[in-house]
Amino acid sequence: MLNKILKEFFGEILSDIPDIKFKELHTNSKLVKELDAFIAINGLTVDGHQFIPCAVEKGAKLLFVSKKDVPLYAGVGCIYIENLDAVAGKVAKMFYNYPEKSLKFIGITGTNGKTTTSFMIEQMMQCPVVKIGTVEYKVGDVCFEAPNTTPEPVQLTRLFNLAVQKGIEWVVMEVTSHALELKRVEDIEFNVAIFTNLTQDHLDFHLTMENYFEAKAKLFSMLKNPKNAVINIDDAWGAKLYERYPQASTFSLAKKATIQGQILAESLEGMRAELKVEDKTYRVDIPYLGEYNLQNVISTLISVSMTGLSLEELIEKSPKLKQVPGRFELIKNEKNKIVVVDFAHTSDALENILSTMKRLAKGKIITVFGAGGDRDKTKRPLMAKVAAKYSDFVVVTSDNPRNEEPNKILLDVVEGLHEVKYPKGCYKIIESREEAISFAIAHAQVSDAVLIAGKGHEQYQIIGREKHFFSDQKVARKYLK
């Protein structure tokens, strides 16, 4: 394995490599254990070479570096590769002997709905799977923290290797536009690919919606068989993608498609839907709410049926689907107030959930939301306009300010309220997220509904570069007592 790496990437041995079997390959020195290898990556903000002493102290016996002026240690091999940052993913594949070749992949891309769809697919499959996405990385029954929706290539390959060791066959992945542009999933052949939708987000990275779309579209060029594309043709960008892949399966709530859905009735417990599949019609109870979730269910049914399972059996299993953490998560309470926590952090996602709540709430709607720092600033006023459209009262608060001044972010959001002339008496700026949630719950009457949007499953607030524990759910329950 090491000889192949040395030859393929013109590696140079700086320190003799011990004749042992190395266990794992890590980019994070904190995760290194005895007999592991450490690969020093130059990140956007941190140079991995400075963590070499930590990796060696923890038991690393092999180092991959892109600098020659690094400390060398007796009994610890060191390989220099000049363009290491660019080829780290390929090095990892060789290190683990290409585990991705033994796996089958379902990839999900789009702005919204990726996480919910991945959870649904996991539940519908009749075998253990690898699930990779925003909430967690899960290999069978083993869970790992998810710092990124789609992991960096070395971590991704390590997860694949664990899957092979456990005898798992299928991987269900959320594939982000960043991952596709930065080639994190390079060389993976997907068996199934799903396009959920495309709405404004990440323009700080992609600059234009066209660039954003083209990044997402790359997933479908990685399909083994273009027939196994699953596309939402209700979405304008999905319709454009379908023009490129006319052999794809489609889903829609408004047009003739492989499966066309319609909501017949809704309550806080879920919805009754009608599904049209060719000349057959099915009626099914689904424990989710909203048209967007019906689309997620349909895309799940189509994609899982492509793995060889019966579509009729999958439809029968739909009523047993379980809720996804932080996605329209109803916070039960004895005060009979409707309080919902949701990850919605784009204008489209906010509109999806607020329009659903508007149909179900008997009283007023109070929306608590903000916008993340160091991210696409142009979506901030757009989210505010959506909140103004559906809400009787808006509480603008902090949401992962990162390295931006929190108050500046809040003012960017409020600008959207001003643009639609939202009454000044109908909104309040409260920078402290806990105080904002407390205020909203205290002012909600029994028949009112409170939406706490933006963080969903997250258990932290990012202030500067530090993560501080914070849970919308726990705070909401605290003030509902």
Query: What pLDDT, in 10s, does the model give residues 131-183?
Result: 999 999 999 999 999 989 999 999 999 999 999 999 999 999 999 999 999 99
| Lateral strand order in the sheet of 104-109 | 142-144, 137-139, 129-132, 170-174, 104-109, 192-195, 229-232, 249-252, 259-267, 270-277, 280-286
Exposed, middle or buried, 239 (CB in 10 Å: 0-12/13-18/19+)?
Answer: middle
Question: Among all chains, which residue has been given the structure tokens 């309550």?
Answer: 267
Phi, psi of 371 (to 5 degrees): -150, 145
- What is each CA distance from 106 to 158, 161, 225, 307, in whole angstroms? 18, 17, 12, 9
At residue 45, the pLDDT reads 78
At residue 281, the pLDDT reads 97
At residue 387, the pLDDT reads 98
**Least trusted range by pLDDT, from 61-70, 198-207, 303-312:** 198-207
At residue 327, the pLDDT reads 94
At residue 43, the pLDDT reads 78
Question: Among all chains, which residue has been given the structure tokens 């610890």?
Answer: 76
At residue 18, the pLDDT reads 96
Cβ atoms < 10 Å from Cβ of 474: 12
Tens digit of pLDDT for each residue in 51-90?
Answer: 999 999 999 999 999 999 999 999 999 999 999 999 999 9
CATH numeric code, 329-480: 3.90.190.20
At residue 202, the pLDDT reads 85
**Least trusted range by pLDDT, from 39-48, 91-100, 161-170, 425-434:** 39-48
Structure-token pair, residue 334: 């004895």
Going by their DSSP bridges, the two strands 129-132 and 137-139 should be labelled as antiparallel
- In this structure, whether the domain defined by 99-320 belongs to CATH 3.40.1190.10 is answered with yes
Average pLDDT over residues 282-295: 97
Average pLDDT over residues 410-430: 97
The amino acid at residue 64 is F
Say if residue 44's pLDDT is above 80: no
Cα distance between residue 244 and residue 247, in whole Å: 9
At residue 206, the pLDDT reads 86
Exposed, middle or buried, 264 (CB in 10 Å: 0-12/13-18/19+)?
Answer: exposed
**Least trusted range by pLDDT, from 60-64, 206-210, 247-251, 384-388:** 206-210
At residue 203, the pLDDT reads 84
pTM over 0.85, yes/no:
yes
| Average pLDDT value over all residues in the chain | 96
At residue 205, the pLDDT reads 84
At residue 347, the pLDDT reads 94
Q: Where are the domains of the chain?
A: 2-86, 99-320, 329-480
Average pLDDT over residues 262-266: 97
Domain 2-86: state its class: alpha beta
